[in-house]
Amino acid sequence: MKSTLSPERTELKERWSEFKVTNPKTRIRDAAKELNTTEAELVATGVGENVTLLAGDFRELIKEVGSLGHVMALTRNDHVVHERKGVYEKVSFNNHVGLVLGEDIDLRLFLGDWKFGFAVSENDRHSLQFFNSFGDATHKIYLTEKSNKEAFDAVVAKYSAPDQDINLVIAEKTPKPAESEMVADIDKSAFQAEWLALKDTHDFFTLLRKYNLTRKQALRNAPEGYAYRITPESMKPVFEAASEDQLPIMVFVSNPNCIQIHTGPINKIFVMGPWLNIMDPEFNLHLRQDAIDEAWVVRKPTEDGVVTGIELIDKEGTMFNQFFGKRKPGVPELPEWPALIEKSVSRL
């Protein structure tokens, strides 16, 4: 069924078409901001042409992505783009929380606010794209030259919405409250004692909630030697050292609806404008260095020993990128990883 656009959608479609002509290299997320709209609304202008509105249970759809074979998974936020190629394997859901635990594609999915889904075909590039109620992209899946296009077509046909007439209702975001850098009423000794008693890195989130702390506040109140600031410019030397040593690392990129993880070595690193890039055959990362308000080295105790991470935080206090040495539960972190950090970073 062909979609009928409202006058407002028609006007947006025209503005979007003109924008693409004059700004061919601008990413759609950034274009949406310049056009004072959302990415989901821009994608929706193509419904009935090169875009198909999807419906149904997205959990069941994700379970079928493995049939597409080799694909590229893309998860991003405002400051960093994470692209990883591979196959969706070991897919499972517990209510609306999902796991994809393949050797290459490693995801944590939070589908409670996966509101809109589209199949998009543009210039022979085919993808499944999902958005939350605010119109922000949660996760995208692109076919590669190795993908099974017939399986893609079958999934799109199965989950195509019966009614392609679409009028997106986009929720309005609540501004994030400003945070004070120091907390006056925290029981610092108790907080530090609980930090030192951590058994799992995931328990850190529970600790923050218990003491009602933001990420920055928690790091400023860390036990001695367990968190220190580094310069945002430290990331390039860290990447280069990991590449030179061929030390496998873990790269986490998150938004409220998805976490995507790369585990392995990195190789081709370069800067283009504000972007620090990793451009390997199966893994790409695009990190806006100018978005890093604070960068921290953070140490957390676990049952397997101390785990060392680098955390990048933006001006709003959101942690948007994390890095670790390669590790698995039950296995201590590689000793070369904290040593690499020590020799590569510049402390503040």
* Distance from C-alpha of 73 to C-alpha of 92, rounded to nearest angstrom: 17
Reported as a pLDDT band with limits 50, 70 and 90, residue 166 is confident
What does the pLDDT read at residue 1? 45
> Is residue 182 scored above 80 in pLDDT?
no
What does the pLDDT read at residue 328? 86
Residue 85's SS3 state is strand
Q: How far apart are the first and last CA of the chain?
A: 59
Beta strands in 80-157 (DSSP E): 80-86, 91-94, 97-101, 106-110, 116-122, 125-131, 137-143
269-286 burial code (b ≥16 CB/10 A, e <16): beeeeeebbbebeebbbb
Average pLDDT for 245-249: 97
Average pLDDT for 24-47: 95
Q: What is the mean pLDDT of the chain?
A: 94
Per-residue CA distances from 107 to 57, 73, 88, 242, 279 (Å): 18, 9, 9, 23, 20
> Is residue 310 scored above 60 in pLDDT?
yes
Reported as a pLDDT band with limits 50, 70 and 90, residue 9 is confident
- Tell me the pTM: 0.95
Reported as a pLDDT band with limits 50, 70 and 90, residue 191 is very high
Average pLDDT for 56-74: 98
What does the pLDDT read at residue 174? 87
298-314 burial code (b ≥16 CB/10 A, e <16): bbbbbebeebbbbbbbb
> Is residue 248 scored above 90 in pLDDT?
yes
Q: How many CB atoms lie within 10 A of CB 167?
A: 11
What does the pLDDT read at residue 3? 54
What does the pLDDT read at residue 88? 98
Report which of 323, 318, 321, 319 is spatially closest to residue 340, judged by C-alpha positions.
323
What does the pLDDT read at residue 2? 52
Identify the sign of the CA torsion 106, 341, 221, 176: negative
Average pLDDT for 307-329: 95
